Structure 1
Amino acid sequence: MDLFGGTINSLEKGLFYATMKNKTIAQNIANVDTPNYKTKEVSFKDVLNDAKQATIPAYRTDARHFDFKINIGSSGVYSNENFRSRANGNAVNMDAEQAKLAENTIYYNALIDRVSSKFSTLNNVVKGGR
């Protein structure tokens, strides 16, 4: 049984995706002058598939014990190998990366706002509306 209805868990997965995407964009920006560097992207579909968890059966002495859960799959990050934009082989378009970073920052902040709102609501319930 999920105590909070699954919303917080979904928001957590969204934050994981946004964080992974932010790290990937930052890596692309950091390598803007590296010869033969190919931009990396995060596949939402792959991250979503990775979020599905496998259950490992465990020896349980009580029916209330939980099974172990592990993440399966790949990281969801892939490289654009066939794209070249400059003579040195570097494929980083700084304007595009900055636009992606701005978009991802807005997405991340919206998720943080929702998580904060959820916790505020739970705090209000725990305190009895005071």
Structure 2
Amino acid sequence: MLNRLDEALSFHQNALRVRGQRQELIAANIANADTPNFKARDIDFKAAMQSAVAGINKDAFQTAKTSPLHLDGSRASNSNTSAAPGEPLFRPIIQGSVDGNTVDMDVERNQFADNGIRYEASLTLINAQLKQMLAALQSS
């Protein structure tokens, strides 16, 4: 019974964990909006969730090179995805600034609100799932 409860809630647990990490990164971006040379970061939520659900090891995709001229098979070799799933990535620069800061407050505020709403939606889904389980247990 306990394993079924854990299985039922593990997806939402992972979603809340990733959403919480993302909220912290976005808050740090907002807090550093005036810091020279600060680079805005974010998490690729879809990749992070796929990794969390699948239980993928960060270094799982390693390939052997037969020549030093070959590219590495790791995600770190690609400049757009310079981190493993769930690791912070730098946001693309929408509009550069003189001081090198890449934080766009409009983007950050929108992402902060969107992520917060999705976090609350996950909590609502967990609450509904627990109420259904409780009702099923009480009717037995």
Same fold (TM over 0.5): yes
Single out whichever of 118-127 and 43-52 deviates more from structure 2: 43-52
* Structure-2 separation of matches of 1:124 and 1:82: 50
User: What whole-Å deviation, never above 9, does each CA across 1:60-79 have from its counterpart, x for those lacking one?
Assistant: xxxxxxxxxxxx32442112
Runs of 4+ off more than 6 Å: none
* Structure-1 separation of matches of 2:109 and 2:15: 20
Structure richer in helix, relative to its length: 2
Structure richer in strand, relative to its length: 1
Shift of 1:84: 5.5
In the alignment, residue 94 of structure 1 is paired with which amino acid? Answer: M
User: Where does 1:60-75 land on structure 2 (aligned, <5 Å)?
Assistant: 72-73=57-58, 74=84, 75=86
* Structure-2 separation of matches of 1:5 and 1:82: 40
Alignment RMSD: 2.4
Gaps of 5+ in 2: 59-83
* Structure-2 separation of matches of 1:128 and 1:89: 62
Aligned residue pairs total 112
* Structure-2 separation of matches of 1:81 and 1:106: 23
In the alignment, residue 85 of structure 1 is paired with which amino acid? Answer: G
Contact 1:39 1:92 in 2 (8 A): yes
> TM-score by structure 2 length?
0.68
